[in-house]
Amino acid sequence: MDVGGLVAAGPVWVGSSELTMSLDGIVACVDAGAGAVVAKSVNESAAARRQLDIADYAFVSGDRQVRPPGRAYPGDGLLNRSGLAQVDLDDWLGILAAGVAHGAAQGCPVVGSITLGDPAAAARIGRALADVVPAVELNIGAPHGREARAVRQLTEVDGVRDAVRTVRAAVGVPLFVKLPGQASDVVALARAARSAGADAVGLVGRYPGFLPDLDGGAVLGSWGAWSSPGCLPMSLYWVSKAFQQLDVPIVGTNGARTVTDVLRFLASGARAVEVVTALWIGGPAVLRELVDGVAEVGDDFVGSALAGTREYADVPPPPSPAWEPYTARWMSSGR
């Protein structure tokens, strides 16, 4: 399959995370059947690398209870604080080259990733990555950009256009741009990225999060980045809107844990879907389950949900108000 000029083995991809921060991790993801693997992000900032020293992770149950370390379940949300790969660029290029060679033997491309700091520096790094990897992901939607000075999150059209244009001029391989989900108009950001030369867009990055522990502090002791199965409809909102309004391949992110979740991303218009947290919880076997679960899905399935979806003004009223059963049950409950 082709996504923005990148030939991948399938639509289930492993996203950038600590799981893809080493050659062993990249190889494990390739061997588990990933359609593509996005390596851990890098940038020019030593502060972004040092931030990994204070990384922390909290899995949160559906009733908002924090799990003990090492215990998590598929429906849990993840609140975390993270940083970038702690490796010099030259060493990282060697790791990526080895990962690319391993993936190529199985038809699985390994993609380099940059989390934006300074656009000019991102362009220099992108040029170096493009000599090694078949595609580059530029992450300008990192939620940590709201807390960590070493990375940036762009939520305005002009900023997105300028940053993508700068990196595009330096990168001679397919360029994927990962966008945030909490901007006022994510479709406008995707349009700006496309007009500046993005070959595909990733929708959407995780959301900022905060959870008090009620003992006078907060889970993680700070703010963090949040993802959960509950984020799925929010992610699919922007995927479906971008698919409907733009001509750009979409890589779905944030909220896919199960085969059904991946299928919903595809039906909403994503050509491929990145997963991370599901693998943290369930290991490589989960990836194989996801890959097998979508193996028979054809290109015509992508965006198929939009055929039966209407704007509010075009929805016909039902025979009786949909809210009646809910209000009737409340009125009869004794309040």
Report the phi/psi class of residue 190: left, alpha or beta, with left for phi > 0 and alpha for psi in -120 to 50: alpha
Give the pLDDT of residue 97.
98
Rounded distance, CA 161 to CA 154, Å? 10
Residues 101, 132 contacting (CB under 8 angstroms): no
Domains of the chain, residue spans:
2-331
Q: Kindly report whether the peptide bond that precedes residue 259 is cis, defined as omega within 30 degrees of 0.
A: no
What residues pair up with 95 in beta bridges, in sequence order? none
Question: If one looks up domain 2-331 in CATH, what number appears?
Answer: 3.20.20.70
pLDDT in tens, the chain (335 residues): 999 999 999 999 999 999 999 999 999 999 999 999 999 999 998 888 888 898 999 999 999 999 987 889 989 999 999 888 899 999 999 999 999 999 999 999 999 999 998 999 999 999 999 999 999 999 998 887 677 777 888 889 999 999 999 999 999 999 999 999 988 999 999 999 999 999 999 999 999 999 999 889 999 999 999 999 999 999 999 999 999 999 999 999 999 999 999 999 999 999 999 999 999 999 888 999 999 999 999 999 999 999 989 999 999 988 888 888 888 877 787 65
61 C-beta neighbours (distance < 10 Å), count: 13
The answer to whether the CB of 23 falls within 8 A of the CB of 283 is no
Q: Are 114 and 41 in contact (CB under 8 A)?
A: yes
| Radius of gyration for the chain, computed over Cα atoms and rounded to the nearest angstrom | 20
Angle between helices 186-195 and 157-168 (to 10 degrees): 30
Cα gap 194→198, rounded to integer Å: 5
Alpha-helix runs per DSSP H in 83-211: 89-104, 119-130, 157-168, 186-195
C-beta separation of 36 from 287 below 8 A: no
- Tokens, residue 120: 């000019």
Q: How many Å apart are CA 144 and CA 128, to the nearest integer? A: 25
Taking the C-alpha atoms of residue 295 and residue 267, their distance in angstroms, rounded to an integer, is 14
DSSP 37-69: EEPPPB-S-HHHHHGGGG-EEEEE-TTSPBPPT
Write the CB contacts of 314 (distance below 8 Å, at least 6 apart in sequence): none
**How far, in Å, CA of 271 to CA of 72, rounded?**
29
Angle between helices 186-195 and 232-245 (to 10 degrees): 50
| pLDDT number for residue 331 | 78
Per the CB < 8 A criterion, the answer to whether 252 and 272 are in contact is yes
- CB distance 47 to 150 below 8 Å: yes
Taking a C-beta distance cutoff of 8 angstroms, is the pair 293, 259 a contact? yes
pLDDT, residue 255, reads: 94
User: For residue 158, how many C-alpha atoms fall within 13 Å in the half-sphere facing its CB?
Assistant: 0
User: DSSP state, 306?
Assistant: G
**Amino acid, single-letter form, for residue 256:** A
- Cα 315 from Cα 285, distance rounded (Å): 42
